[in-house]
Amino acid sequence: MALGSLRSMAGAFGHTARRPHISSRAALWRWILGLVVAVAVVSVVVNAGGGLADAEAALGRTEASWVAVAVLVEAISYVLIGVHLRRLARASAPVSRRLGIGLALVISGFGLLTPASPAEGLAIASRQLRQRGFDQRRATLTLGFTQWFSMRVFLLVAAVNVLVAVGIGDLPATDVLPLLAVASVGFVLLVVTAHFARRRSTGELAAVLLGRLRFWRPRVPNAERRAAGAAWHQQAMSIVGSPTNRVLLVGLAASALLADMGCLWASLTAAGVHVGGDVVILAATASVLATAIPLIPGGLGIVEAVIPAVLHHFGVPLDAALAGAVIYRVVGTFLPATVGVLVIAGLTLVHRHKRAREALPSRAAGNQAPVTHAPLPE
């Protein structure tokens, strides 16, 4: 699910230079905990919806043609994410169309279901970029901006959708004021962060504060920290490019997000759920917030409960809503994650073959016997 890459972004940026270390035991316990929670929460939803038989019956009524539409729309979402990544990367080094889409599947597909979600996906993508000529800073900034634009577009779409839902009267009266307050906070955050992100002094201040937090390291003068922060900010601005390019980046991120939400709409339609687009976006927004729950990779079980709960709040039967949520998770989460694993395997094999080919000339030169000439007759 492309929406899932929005979670834990701040903690992921610091790990893009190397794969985060998580012991196999800790990862196992985390997956066990996630599985237990997922089973428990889904069981509650299934029982509330009439039991397992009703849930199976709802899935049995799935329209395959709409599932195919959901797969197509989700594929378009990942293509757009790949184009977005290539657009950011072009200031540093060219990235092929195939690699851009592949890294999108690694970050937002495979990375969503890893124990350190999504840091592991970002770490693998960073390594791939560095193998293609990116330095560590450029790789970190490029991948960081993919998440930055996704987060901002998500806030914008969610806030605007609340205004639309209020305008057309879809929201219950008790929900209007709380959701308007949340939407207002979202708009304020967008304006404030945009203002400070453009200022070089913001990068300088961030560098000074981060330096002070690393109290165990040798002390560096504030002037050097500010200079380093200014350098990071200058490089960041070169990556996002001109105002026109930034608008294009926002448009690509918004299109990818709406395509993923379109996958949810098609999945619900496949299960016989027919609701307005604003309700679909509200359910998708709630699912993103659900994935922020710690210790549970990709919000396993939580998302499958939250989406039916939101839809049921608007009058949708729980069994059909659960069926739509399951279809969406299969198409938008597990299918991209599976393809992401295949992409990682393919990229690893390509890199090994490339290193092997590069090593052949040196080996041949080392194994070549020296040429000796017989002495000329006197």
CA distances from 265 to 40, 49, 58, 276, 327 (A): 26, 20, 16, 9, 11
Give the confidence band of 52 by pLDDT, cuts at 50, 70, 90: low
Q: Which of 1-10, 20-29, 75-84, 220-229 has the highest mean pLDDT?
A: 75-84
Mean pLDDT of the chain: 83
- The total of other beta-carbon atoms located within 10 Å of residue 203's CB is 22
CA–CA–CA angle 150, 156, 157 (5° rounding): 85
Confirm if 33 and 160 have CB atoms less than 8 A apart.
no
Which pTM was predicted? 0.83
Q: Tell me, what's the pLDDT at 357?
A: 78
**Burial grade of 40 (CB within 10 A; 0-12, 13-18, 19 or more):** exposed
Q: Tell me, what's the pLDDT at 311?
A: 93
Side chain identity at 199, as an amino acid letter? R
Name the strand (E) or helix (H) holding 214. none
> What is d(CA 342, CA 350) in angstroms, rounded to the nearest whole number?
12
What token pair was written down for 108?
Answer: 């937002």
Give the confidence band of 16 by pLDDT, cuts at 50, 70, 90: very low
Confirm if 121 and 1 have CB atoms less than 8 A apart.
no
Q: Which of 148, 234, 156, 144 is nearest to 198 (CA)?
A: 234
Residue 53: pLDDT over 70: no
Largest CA distance in the chain: 112
